Amino acid sequence: MKLFRVIKFSGIAVLPIFLVSCFSAKTYERPQSELLNAQYFRTDSLQQDSVSIATVSWKELFTDTILQGYIAEGLQNNIDIRKAIQQILISEAYLKQGKMGYLPTLNGSAQYTHTEISSNSQFGGLFDRLDQYQLSGGLSWEADIWGKIRSNQRAFNADYLQSVAAHKAVKSTLVANIASLYYQLLSLDEQIAITKMTIITRASGLETTKALKESGNLTEVAVKQTEAQLYTAEAILIDLENTVRLLENSLSLLVGSEPSEIRRSTLAAQEITTPLKTGIPYELLANRPDVMAAEYGLVNSFELTNVARSNFYPSLTLTANGGLQSLQFDNLFDSGSLFATIVGGLTQPLLNGRKIRTQYEVQKAVQEQAKLDFKFALLTASKEVSDALYSYDTAMEKIKVKEKEYQANILAKEYSQELLDNGLANYLEVLNARQNALSTSLDLTNTKNAKFQAIVNLYEALGGGWR
């Protein structure tokens, strides 16, 4: 009889181990239909090279030590970065919980029960009160027959990796934004210097114009036109200085400090010595953390769909309870106070108001949404790479043209002044030449800034900055 009981209980205990091998959950495979090839990037600038600037550290790409200091400060103090770190800690806590899913749950309890019995009840004539003492423990374990626990664990792991990728995406964006604002400030500094020099030149020219008017060589119209040009330059200077203050405040916010003056270098001192390689099309977006995050989101929803599917199948549970129970506290720790119960069973959902099917259908729709989000992340990334490559090529071509235009306008200004001095030109030609020279100088500085902005955008578009 005892042998039969041993065999019976052993069978109940060993059965779940065999059933664990019955894994019904599907394994995630990256949807090949969502991957992109070279045609998605709409550019002829893609190099068939496995090396990309995205793998280069920001310290190597941005050689300006002052800029490096601001980036390091931003990565340390930026609010979005710190929030992303907290999200990682949240996901890590859930991941640790998921790893414990295979283990049984164990509860312990200590109870004292006092009951006053009615004298008119069934046992009222025997005794009028009842005291009971109990120390017990309960164990419960569910066999992972259909892969529910394993899928849950994988879902938690994907969620954790998604939070890590999101943190990398925040770092990549932050590095790009700091560099972008820094280069904009350098560009504005150069424009301010040009405008201030223009104001000095035009103030001197105004005095000369007044003297020429007094001598009868020019009219009052020429004086007022020169004066108006001086005011135009002064107005430009006011706008430029205001923009500088606003950008300094924005950069201060990014580095996690109160609004303050930003120390900086010059635009002419900036050098990008890293070769601007983009890599082969397949590898182009492999480094982008937002694309990584989107795919981890897809993995998470895929595994949760596995969990929802497993709810259709029966669950095998094993529960055991045992401990000490006695009506007298003095006898609680006697061998006669021991009790134990073990229960193994299968639970198959039959009617539950369609909750399981609804949950499964909803999760399938969520998985399809995650798949579309992944595709959209890839398409957006390919657009940003294409935009950055076009912008960089355009900026390099435009710099050459603007330099020629600048030289032509400087010569035109000098020649027109010479002709005016010799009475061979009217003053309107001189004014036009001066205005064109200022506009071209400012445009050339903007174009140089556009080149650096394109480099920053390309670096971010390829997923650089988080290493």
The verdict on 208 and 122 lying in the same domain is no
User: What would the DSSP string read from start to end of 395-452?
Assistant: HHHHHHHHHHHHHHHHHHHHHHHHHHHTTSS-HHHHHHHHHHHHHHHHHHHHHHHHHH
* Cβ atoms of 313 and 325 closer than 8 Å: no
pLDDT tens, position by position, 238-282: 999 999 999 999 999 999 889 889 999 999 888 887 776 655 454
DSSP H helices, 261-354, are: 281-284, 289-310
The verdict on 54 and 33 lying in the same domain is yes
pLDDT, position 50? 43
> Cα 227 to the chain's mean position, in Å?
52
pLDDT, position 186? 94
Boundary of a domain, candidates 347, 364, 396: 347
Compute the mean pLDDT over every residue in the chain, rounded to the nearest whole number: 80
Q: Whole domain around residue 134: which residue ranges?
A: 106-143+317-347
The verdict on 128 and 89 lying in the same domain is no
* Cβ atoms of 299 and 154 closer than 8 Å: yes
The verdict on 90 and 166 lying in the same domain is yes
Q: Give Cβ neighbours of residue 11 (< 8 Å, ≥ 6 apart).
A: none
Give the number of other Cβ atoms within 10 Å of residue 272's Cβ.
15
The verdict on 307 and 216 lying in the same domain is yes
Q: How far is CA 65 from CA 61, 190, 270, in A?
A: 11, 19, 10
Boundary of a domain, candidates 347, 369, 404: 347
Percent of the chain with pLDDT over 70: 83
The verdict on 343 and 366 lying in the same domain is no
CATH number at residue 123: 2.20.200.10
pLDDT tens, position by position, 78-120: 888 888 888 888 888 877 777 777 778 888 888 888 888 777 7
* Cβ atoms of 70 and 182 closer than 8 Å: yes
Is 5 a member of any domain? no
The verdict on 94 and 190 lying in the same domain is yes
Residue 145 buriedness (CB in 10 A; 0-12 / 13-18 / 19+): buried
> Cα 203 to the chain's mean position, in Å?
51
The verdict on 184 and 239 lying in the same domain is yes
Q: To 5 degrees, how large is the angle CA 81–CA 86–CA 89?
A: 130
Is 430 a member of any domain? yes
Is 15 a member of any domain? no
Q: Is the pLDDT of residue 463 over 50?
A: yes
Helix (H, G, I), strand (E, B) or coil at 357: helix
CATH number at residue 216: 1.20.1600.10
Label each residue of 109-172 as H, E or C. EEEEEEEECCCCCCCCCCCCEEEEEEEEEEEEEECCCCCHHHHHHHHHHHHHHHHHHHHHHHHH
The verdict on 363 and 244 lying in the same domain is yes
Is 174 a member of any domain? yes
pLDDT category, 23, cuts 50, 70, 90? very low
**Tokens 């779940």, located at residue:** 16
Is 43 a member of any domain? yes
- Rg over alpha carbons for the chain, rounded to the nearest Å, is 38
What's the structural domain count of the chain? 2
Boundary of a domain, candidates 325, 347, 369: 347
3-state helix, strand and coil shares in percent for the chain, rounded to the nearest 5: 65, 10, 25
Q: How far is CA 231 from CA 51, 53, 198, 434, in A?
A: 52, 46, 11, 14
Convert 290-317 to b/e letters by CB count within 10 Å (16 or more is b). Answer: bbbbbbbbbbbbbbbbbbbbbbebebbb
pLDDT tens, position by position, 333-347: 887 888 888 887 777
The verdict on 324 and 223 lying in the same domain is no
Is 379 a member of any domain? yes
The verdict on 421 and 324 lying in the same domain is no
User: What would the DSSP string read from start to end of 64-78?
Assistant: -HHHHHHHHHHHHH-
The verdict on 277 and 365 lying in the same domain is yes
Is 152 a member of any domain? yes
Is 299 a member of any domain? yes
